[in-house]
Structure 1
Amino acid sequence: MTMNSLKDVYTDQLQDLYSACKQSLEATNALGRAAEDKELSEALIDGSNGIAKGMDVLKSICAKHDLDPDAEHCHGMEGLVKEAHKHVLEEDFGDSDTRDAMIITQYQRMVHYALAGYGCVVAFANRLGEDEDGAQLQQQLDHTYDGDRRMTEIATKGGVNADAA
């Protein structure tokens, strides 16, 4: 497809973000099963629920624009998911606290990718006058930021990093 306008970029990125969410959902579920810290495990379950809700929003917006949400494959998230598998699920750890610290690291990398994606599509929607899309996407962006801050608190104030040290 030739990109001729911001609308083309917007629709491409909606599909790319849907793919990123789909891939990160599977990885987040796997990270949640590997987590030992109760607070971390609960946050990852909440994160999975948030990702699924974001996918529903993206799917709805894609339908509104006559797009197939599965038409794109996000290679960026594919790489981040591979890294999560390599550094958490396939790695040997001497203790669960160290694994939990790595889980937070890998999860936040995926979240930061999603933050960039949501930030872009919010800006595109708003510029294109797609106010309803923009409001729904902004809400997902805000929830994603909340999840990222929660992980930072679990790592730094909740004791995961201290226990791993």
Structure 2
Amino acid sequence: MALNSLKDVYVDQLQDIYSACKQSIEATTKLGQAASDDKLGKALAAGSAGIAEGMEKLEQIASDHGFDPNGEFCKGMEGLVKEAHAHALDEQFGSDEARDAMIITQYLRMVHYALAGYGITVVYANKLGLDGDAALLQQCYDQTQDGHESMMGIAREGVGAA
């Protein structure tokens, strides 16, 4: 698809976020299963549920505008997922605390990608006068930001404290 307008860029970025979500949901679930800290595991399970909710909102927007949310493959998230596997799931650790710290690190890298995608699409939806889209995307952004803050709190309060 040629990117000839802001609307074209907007659709492209929505497809990118959707692809990123598809790739990150499985990795997030696996990170949660690998976590030794119960609070961390629950937070990652909530993160997976949040990603699924975001995907539903993206599917709704795509349906409303008549495009396929699967029209893009996000190579950025592909790399982040590979990093999560290499550094948090496949790596050998000397302690559960070290693994949990790396799980948080890798998860937050994926979250930051999502924040950038949701944040800019909120801006573009507003510029295009797509108030309904902007509201849904803002919900996704806010939920992702809440997940970021929750994970940072777990890192500050619990990981490595033992």
Q: Is the shorter-chain TM-score for this pair beyond 0.5, marking a shared fold?
A: yes
Shift of 1:144: 0.4
The equivalent of 1:43 in structure 2 is 43
Residues 108-165 of structure 1 show CA distances to partners (whole Å, capped at 9, x for unaligned) of 00000000000011000000000000001001100100000000000002x10333xx
The equivalent of 1:74 in structure 2 is 74
Point out where structure 2 has 5 or more consecutive residues left out of the alignment: none
Percent of aligned positions with the same letter in both sequences?
A: 62
SS at match of 1:160: coil
The equivalent of 1:63 in structure 2 is 63
The equivalent of 1:92 in structure 2 is 92
Q: Distance in 2 between matches of 1:162 and 1:14?
A: 39
**Structure 2 letter corresponding to 1:22:** K
Q: Distance in 1 between matches of 2:75 and 2:67?
A: 19
TM-score by length of 1: 0.96
**Structure 2 letter corresponding to 1:153:** G
SS at match of 2:92: coil
Residues 39-81 of structure 1 show CA distances to partners (whole Å, capped at 9, x for unaligned) of 0000001000000000000011011111111111000000000
The equivalent of 2:159 in structure 1 is 160
Q: Please tell me whether residue 23 in structure 1 is matched to residue 23 in structure 2.
A: yes
The equivalent of 2:3 in structure 1 is 3
Q: Please tell me whether residue 105 in structure 1 is matched to residue 112 in structure 2.
A: no
Q: Distance in 2 between matches of 1:40 and 1:33?
A: 10
SS at match of 1:72: coil
Point out where structure 1 has 5 or more consecutive residues left out of the alignment: none
Structure 1 residue ranges (4+ consecutive) displaced by more than 3 angstroms after TM superposition: none
**Structure 2 letter corresponding to 1:124:** Y
The equivalent of 2:52 in structure 1 is 52
SS at match of 1:2: coil
Q: Distance in 2 between matches of 1:10 and 1:123?
A: 10
The equivalent of 1:124 in structure 2 is 124
